[in-house]
Structure 1
Amino acid sequence: MTEKMKKAAGKGKSLAGEFREFIMRGNVMDMAVGVIIGGAFQKIISSLVDDIIMPVISLLTGGVDFNNKFVVLDGGDYATLEAAKEAGAATLNYGTFITVVINFVLMALVIFLLVKFMNNVSNKFAKEEAEAPATTKICPKCKSEINIEATKCPCCTSDL
């Protein structure tokens, strides 16, 4: 392939070069870190729901185990969800769905609180960085930048 053809095809960059440039952008790296942390965070929230919240809800509801709440679609009668799965029965697992919904709501709540905290911290730092007073102004006649204390524009000699 000639140099002219390479430039026409990809403006001189190979596919690997373009991919490397894409990956090294800051927002792509931030997104990758966010996905990795989010995956680890999801395990923490799942453990919170499965090991702490759902047992408390089960205690409050008189020992109801949401993981064993299901409807067998073929009309069979099974004591547990595992027994139904072993028999190969088609089931609607609404208890598992409820657990996943609680999981999602808690994850959204925690992320909301984290973002709110980060915004508050960011706003505090922004308030501390007060804007420096202006030292220049723009001449209304010629639009040049002049000293704020000037009474006559040095460029167009108009009175200010």
Structure 2
Amino acid sequence: MLYLKCTADVQKAIGLHKNQLSPIEPSDAPLGHWMVNRFMVERRKAYVFMSESTLLSFILLSGKVPMTPQRLPDMLIGGLVQLLQMRGLPGDAIARAIDPYIEFRYAKNDSRAAMGCMNDMVWRYQSMVDYMGGLAHCDLTEIIFKMNKTPQRTIGWANSWDVAESKLRTLS
């Protein structure tokens, strides 16, 4: 089961009411629960998705179609599949990674440590886009790959790719 842990800003943006939030249960998914936050990049709204257990992350820019509680999980699954494909994972490994996420629920962020990691990621994504000349000139794929190659203290100074790939290998 996919639990999308939304910040208050995301809850408000997609029209999610507090009574629609579920209590969190442990995850049996290899990449665990996912957190989502919303931030501005130049004049565009962006959503950052982060696996709570691996810190694997990616950003997606919001388009013209309004974000809804039904679209957000689809964005996560689509973005995750694309990210894992670009990383070169085989189709069967990707299918096993997303299989537990067929059903989903929304939950409130309950980890201050994970929220701190996510806020740091938002700042780094914004900084990297700015450093590379803005959205018109940067390569978002390169930025996402660099972010996931950065060692993280909360996962023992490993990087998100290594942790995620080791969890996905255990499914084989």
Category of TM-score, reference length = shorter chain: under 0.3
Higher-Rg structure is 1
Please give the TM-score of this superposition, normalised by the length of structure 1.
Answer: 0.24
Please give the TM-score of this superposition, normalised by the length of structure 2.
Answer: 0.23
Higher relative contact order (CA 8 A, sep 6+): 2
